[in-house]
Amino acid sequence: MIKLYHSAGARSFRALWALEELSLPYELVMLRPLARSQYPNYLDINPLGTVPLMLVDGRRMTESAAIPHVLGCRFGPTDLVVDPQEPEYPDYMNFLVMGEATLTFPQTIYLRYTRLEPGKDGTAQAATDYANWFRARLRAAETLMGSGGFVCAGRFTMADITVSYAVQLANVIGLRDMVSPQMQDYVAALQQRDGYKRAVAAQTAAPVISLADAETELSVR
Ligand SMILES: N[C@@H](CCC(=O)N[C@@H](CS)C(=O)NCC(=O)O)C(=O)O
């Protein structure tokens, strides 16, 4: 049994997209953005207070780059993960982690100081610095990318989910100018996938849980 806690457009979209690519049954719990402050008891089930939270076979996962890989390994076999015996395995793992650790991380600093906590002393410069950092890292990542419209292994994998989400995030938080036309084309092609479209439809159709429902939905007791 798989249960995913998600907020529209958040990094938990990586997990949702992976679930749809694998056509797995799951329960989707839609939360308001900034769940920790919206639903105080969310911390009962996820002490980090972040999304994603995924419960799978009674285990708890909170990292959006790890979840797609674990789903593929646990519920495969599937070409969406690269097997350790394939030569491209190191490239795959590298891009899988890079999507979050190298590409999304600087964007979260930018987002924090432009949208969540704007106007604090010195933070405007930090926002600019991290926007430039993001641009440089994305350019560098691009030089490492494989052929055929995918980051590696010549096919669509979970690493494409983690990397392309970072580009999509850039487009919605004001960093679109930092993304090259080639990277925009790469993402636009992936957005034509049925799994991607089903994930978007799922997050649109599911109701966001109310504070009243949160009493039971988010409680471990
Ligand atoms: N490294 C984690 C970060 C998760 C994370 O920070 N998620 C954001 C949404 S994109 C969040 O929940 N922020 C709200 C908060 O920190 O209160 C991952 O990749 O899943």
Task: Give the pLDDT confidence score for residue 217 in this predicted structure.
Answer: 83
Whether 66 is in the pocket of ligand 1, judged by its Cβ within 6 Å, is no
Q: Is 52 in the pocket of ligand 1 (CB under 6 A)?
A: yes
Supply the pTM of this predicted model.
0.97
pLDDT for 115 equals 85
The residue contributing the CA closest to ligand 1 atom 2 is: 63
Q: How far is CA 133 from CA 31, 63, 178, 185, in A?
A: 30, 22, 10, 22
Residue 28's pLDDT is 97
- The CA 16 to ligand 1 mean position distance, Å, reads 14
Task: Report pLDDT for 155.
Answer: 97
Give the distance from CA 193 to its chain's centroid. Answer: 16
Q: What is the pLDDT of residues 59-113, one digit of tens each?
A: 999 999 999 999 999 999 999 999 999 999 999 999 999 999 999 999 999 999 9
Q: Ligand 1 atom 11: the closest Cα is on which residue?
A: 50
DSSP code, position 207:
P
**Contact status, residue 131 vs residue 108, Cβ threshold 8 Å:** no
Match 């993960």 to its residue by tokens.
Answer: 81
Atom of ligand 1 nearest to the CA of 10: 10
CB 10 less than 6 A from any atom of ligand 1: yes
> Atom 12, ligand 1: which residue's CA is nearest?
50
Q: What is the pLDDT of residue 122?
A: 79
For residue 220, the model assigns a pLDDT of 66
pLDDT digits (tens, 9 = 90+) for 107-165: 999 999 998 888 777 788 999 999 999 999 999 999 999 889 999 999 999 999 999 99
Helices (H), the chain: 13-21, 35-38, 42-45, 66-75, 89-98, 105-111, 123-144, 158-173, 181-190, 194-205, 211-217
The total number of residues shown for the chain amounts to 221
